[in-house]
Structure 1
């Protein structure tokens, strides 16, 4: 797709972004706000201190309705990813990922049990392929319905609950990864207590016809500011969260990516539902023996950022290339550059001194724990 704005899709909030003075950029085929007049740094810090409102309507929303019963649907979806679907309680959400035969990640996603169906949110750049993948593999057990008449907002930050509860009081009782459907003056709101910033917050699916009015009411609150993709990226990097197509892709496994926490014990070696997903042999072998490379946090020891593509070298005489940065930049909450990427497993221990090659010069960098900043989810 050309990046000319006339050929880009627009979210239902496009006119509001322009009214608010957003700088619009092409992203995953959409015209999206990268920042507002406040600027990326201030938007990032506002979200950490108060509450930020993000338009994430470019993401894919999908409903999976069982053709027979929920058990068959859950088993079918479980056959596509190394994550336990069966047993997820009604009103709860879980992180998942589709894998390929080599154990690589086709996409990462969220799915929720809403009683008589599953609701899923997938990445914008992958949604067409994800929907085709599910239609091909779940044809006997589910109707796969892309949601095309709703927008998606994310309200993130320590004051997100205060802001949203003023309009939807029921959200106060929600905890991290709860989901709720509430009938309001704006229509049915589908709410999850989750997000992509490391902060407490919510993702809210809103009818496209009412989302502008709903967003305006939130933005009228003093604690809420509109936040663009620039701050969304720096916030998720500080939280140590992966960006699909950068930190994870079809060539990285969940084990290499440090996403083992997302693979429940029932799907691992010795579990009651061990394997049975694409790439199981590769993934279970890595769980048992360890992968060749691991995703790690990286602390540059100078003020120079180490951005995506920066080669990582070991500290031996002459040096050997042992990895690469997949995400990097400045961490506004930390006041320092941060990065993450993949290094050979023998160099992945916290505190290991390495070198990053920036503009032809090797600069010191140290392996560190992820996340860079503790998350503040409401458990």
Structure 2
């Protein structure tokens, strides 16, 4: 985490301090790690009620085709992503990936068709590089607008629908990955029914100057509690979701990361718009021939958490390392330690026993199916 004194602040920074958050540097921003409730209770509250997360550090980008046709913008974006953007219907969103010439992942993101433009949400640490990548590839045919100062909050959990619908009734009709413009207390906001916790919920894009007021309004509901990055991390880990920079990076391909589902058939071998994205030859070859390693869930046999960076072995003593844990910790809803990491494809089947080296000892783990906690998206 960042330790510099000149950390950036989100529109909710004063509110975090007022609520007694423990703050720390993350992706260049001073962000809340936890509040008075603590990470464990914040995690469980989100699963049982609704949690409010500040994700304003992430980057919001709009892309408009100079032709006025959103499909032209979508086809242009497909030059830098293997995702099918052109067939994304208005009012719908999907998960996307930026790849490099070696097939590695430069970032993951969300992209929505807003009818007359594309709306992207990219990771905080990558947003300036992502903007430069988009501008370099699309500026001849598209107008690109960065909205990095705009507020973004996530309302997650089983009570999220009831809470948001009390202010914006049409939120109740939305399904998972729907995106629309709603109004909350007189403020026009862009709402997607999505999130990164595995829970049903929403992400709400708000003008910076109104973000504090809207957040306080949502927090006034007894079902809603402020949630920090600590619980956000344990929630997404239980949901089997990747954290860029940990579980995926520029040296990891989508196939290795078990993200084949994110590349639609139309962009694969034999598809109508096959290839045409960075690293296509390598990635599409792995679709046909497989990858030598794969991201898997890992379930420690004991009660001790296995953290990111732990080296994996095929046997309890001796032998060479076979992989690494990329995310790990205690899963409050799973009721024990959970982790993810990379192992050889031959040892990626659920139930396979492997070992992680922790403080000089090898702890037994079983390869596990993901997610550890089933998602509750409204489909």
Task: Name the TM-score class by shorter chain.
Answer: over 0.9
* Counterpart in the other structure of 1:30: 29
Looking at structure 1, the residues matched to 186 and 233 of structure 2 have their Cα atoms a distance apart, in angstroms, of: 29
In the other structure, the counterpart of 1:325 is: 325
CA distance in 2, matches of 1:213, 1:56: 16
Matching residue of 1:57:
56
Per mean C-alpha deviation after superposition, the further-off stretch among 318-327 and 250-259 is 318-327
Q: 1:74: Cα distance to partner? A: 1.1
Q: Deviations over 1:185-222 (max 9, x none)?
A: 34211000000000000000011111111111111101
**Which whole-Å CA distance do the structure 2 matches of 1:94 and 1:154 have between them?**
17
What's the secondary structure of 2:351's corresponding residue? coil
- In structure 1, the partner of 2:309 is 309
SS in 2 for 1:9: coil
1:100/1:269 CA distance change after superposition, 3 Å:
same
Paired with 2:278 and 2:346, the residues of 1 have a C-alpha distance of: 27
Consecutive unaligned residues of structure 1, counting only runs of 5 or more, are none
- Aligned equivalents of 2:105 and 2:2: distance in 1? 26
Q: Deviations over 1:259-298 (max 9, x none)?
A: 1111101111121111111100000111101101000000
For 1:92, the equivalent position in structure 2 comes to: 92
What does residue range 149-298 of structure 1 map to in structure 2 within 5 Å?
149-298=149-298
CA distance in 2, matches of 1:265, 1:2: 40
SS of residue matched to 1:297: strand
Deviation digits for residues 63-84 of structure 1 (CA, Å, limit 9, x no counterpart): 1011113232111101111100
Task: Work out whether residues 186 and 206 of structure 1, in 8 Å CA contact, stay in contact via their aligned partners in 2.
Answer: no
Q: Aligned partners of 1:21 and 1:106: how far apart in 2? A: 35
Q: Which residue pairs with 2:17 in the alignment?
A: 18
Whole-Å Cα distance in 2 between the matches of residues 88 and 133 of structure 1?
21
Deviation at 1:316, TM superposition (A): 7.8
**Matched residue, 2:342:** 342
TM-score normalised per structure 2 = 0.98
In structure 2, stretches of 5+ residues that fail to align are none
1:109 is displaced (CA, Å) by 0.1
Q: Counterpart of 2:139?
A: 139
Which deviates more from structure 2 when the two are superposed, residues 222-231 or residues 61-70? 61-70
Partner residue in 2 for 1:113: 113
Contact residue 297 and residue 367 of structure 2 kept, 8 A: yes
How has the CA–CA distance of structure 1 residues 374 and 2 changed in structure 2, closer, same or farther, with 3 Å as cutoff?
Answer: closer
3-state secondary structure, aligned to 1:57: coil
- Describe the SS at the equivalent of 2:209: coil
Partner of 1:103: 103
Deviation at 1:371, TM superposition (A): 0.5
Shift of 1:141: 1.5
In the TM superposition, what whole-angstrom CA distance separates every residue of 1:163-189 from its partner, at most 9, and x where no partner exists? 110111110000000001124434211
Per-residue deviation, residues 39-93 of structure 1 (Å, max 9, x unmatched): 0000000000000000000000011011113232111101111100111000000
By how many angstroms is 1:315 displaced? Answer: 2.5
Give the Cα separation in 2 of the matches to 1:342 and 1:223. 38
Contact map agreement 2:292 2:344 (CA 8 A) in 1: yes
Question: How far 1:317 moved relative to its partner?
Answer: 6.7
How many angstroms does 1:320 deviate by? 2.8
Of stretches 307-316 and 97-106 in structure 1, the one that deviates more from structure 2 is 307-316
> 1:41 maps to what in 2?
40
Q: CA deviation at 1:149?
A: 4.2
Q: 1:109 to 1:2 in 2, by over 3 A?
A: closer
Rounded Cα–Cα distance in structure 1 between residues aligned with 2:365 and 2:28: 35
8 Å CA contact retained: 1:160, 1:202: yes
Contact 2:182–2:188 under 8 Å retained in 1: yes
Shift of 1:2: 6.3
